[in-house]
Amino acid sequence: GAVVSQHPSWVICKSGTSVKIECRSLDFQATTMFWYRQFPKQSLMLMATSNEGSKATYEQGVEKDKFLINHASLTLSTLTVTSAHPEDSSFYICSARGLTEHDNEQFFGPGTRLTVL
C-alpha cells in the first residue's frame, strides 16, 4: 500500500511552453503533498507544500507564478511549470502523506524528468 504515481515520467518541451506534472496517491488519501526539485547529483530541495483544498505554501526563492500547484482532491496534485526555460530542466519529485497507518510518513513518487529545449 501507500503508492504514489507521477505522470509523465519524462517530458521534453520547447522553451516558452507550459508543462503539467501530475502526482497521484493510488491507495490512500493524501491530505498533504510536497513537490521537490532535484538537480543532477544533488539533494532534494523542497519547492512547496500543498494541503488539499487550500493554497500551496512555497519555499523561499520559489516563484509561485512560475510553478503553479493545485491540490484539488485528496488523491491528486498537479505542478505546472509555466513558460518553461532551459534552466527549469530538472527532476521533479512529489511525495504525499495522509490517512495511512504511517500518518507521519511521506511516500514518494518515481519522479518526472523535465527537459526544456
Partner 1 sequence: AQRVTQPEKLLSVFKGAPVELKCNYSYSGSPELFWYVQYSRQRLQLLLRHISRESIKGFTADLNKGETSFHLKKPFAQEEDSAMYYCALSGKGAQKLVFGQGTRLTINP
Site residues (vs partner 1, CB under 8 A):
4, 32, 34, 42-46, 49, 93, 95, 97, 104-106, 108-111
Spell out the alpha helix ranges (H) of the chain: none
- Residue (of 86, 67, 91, 81) closest to 10 by Cα position: 91
Bridge-based pairing state of the strands 10-13 and 112-116: parallel
Shortest Cβ 107–partner 1 spacing (Å): 8
Nearer to partner 1, 13 or 22 (CB): 22
Shortest Cβ 15–partner 1 spacing (Å): 29
Nearer to partner 1, 82 or 100 (CB): 100
Within 10 Å of residue 25's Cβ, how many Cβ atoms?
Answer: 27
